[in-house]
Copies of this chain bind each other. A is one copy, B any other.
């Protein structure tokens, strides 16, 4: 189970003590120097191990105070958000996408304010259907700021999806990801092949480059979709 060496071995040993209750919730554990002596390694090695556990939410480390076992651990789940094509192919499926619509329009208020744009600024509106093995996989509703995305007009979006092109070509400095559930709109229902009002897992993402808004996108996954991670 734990065949680690070096700092990972110390991390695992510490984790075992946490799980066994030998280091009880809320209490202080020995100092780095003490543990280094016990394990026969340098203090930096202990530091690396304990930093790892602190980052995972098990320990709370403070200068002078020492290292305390977090009483109510806040576990951190890490979700990887891949390009949809990779997501589908990673599941062994064959990926395809269809550009449903492409238009320039003024976005709804919710989108405009989320991006922090002035009113009446027209954006490029793209709707795309992503398929896995021929079946509908996800519906993408995207608003793009053409000023922030040079080269967009020369792109054939029927070949490369906006999703993938942006990820590969357009850097961003800040982003916000929001997960929620939403009832399928009539259009989503039609494309995803489900009943209107069906519960869809949706991922909304907004990205900025510096303070310049790039894109707002909502992915609505076909019913039954799950995002799973080990914790």
A residues contacting B by CB (< 8 A) are: 18-19, 21, 25, 57, 71-83, 86, 164, 167-168, 171, 173-183, 197-202, 205, 209, 223-231
| Set of chain B residues within 8 Å of A86, measured between Cβ atoms | 72, 74
| Set of chain B residues within 8 Å of A168, measured between Cβ atoms | 25, 71-72
**Which of B19, B72, B79, B225 touches A167 (beta carbons < 8 Å)?**
B72
**Which of B25, B171, B180, B181 touches A19 (beta carbons < 8 Å)?**
B171
**A83 closest partner in B (C-beta):** B72
Instruction: Give me 20 other A-B pairs in contact (C-beta within 8 A), A74-B80, A77-B79, A178-B229 excluded.
Output: A18-B171, A25-B168, A72-B82, A72-B167, A74-B86, A75-B175, A76-B78, A76-B80, A77-B81, A77-B177, A78-B78, A79-B79, A176-B231, A180-B181, A180-B227, A181-B182, A181-B202, A183-B199, A197-B197, A198-B199
User: Is there contact, CB below 8 Å, between B230 and A174?
Assistant: yes
**A164 closest partner in B (C-beta):** B72
| Set of chain B residues within 8 Å of A176, measured between Cβ atoms | 228-231
| Set of chain B residues within 8 Å of A228, measured between Cβ atoms | 176-179
| Set of chain B residues within 8 Å of A180, measured between Cβ atoms | 181, 201, 224-227
In the bound complex, how far is the Cα of B206 from the Cα of A226, in angstroms?
Answer: 14
User: Is there contact, CB below 8 Å, between A175 and B230?
Assistant: yes
| Set of chain B residues within 8 Å of A201, measured between Cβ atoms | 179-181
**A79 closest partner in B (C-beta):** B77
| Set of chain B residues within 8 Å of A19, measured between Cβ atoms | 171, 173, 209
User: Is there contact, CB below 8 Å, between A198 and B179?
Assistant: no
**Which of B21, B25, B74, B179 touches A179 (beta carbons < 8 Å)?**
B179
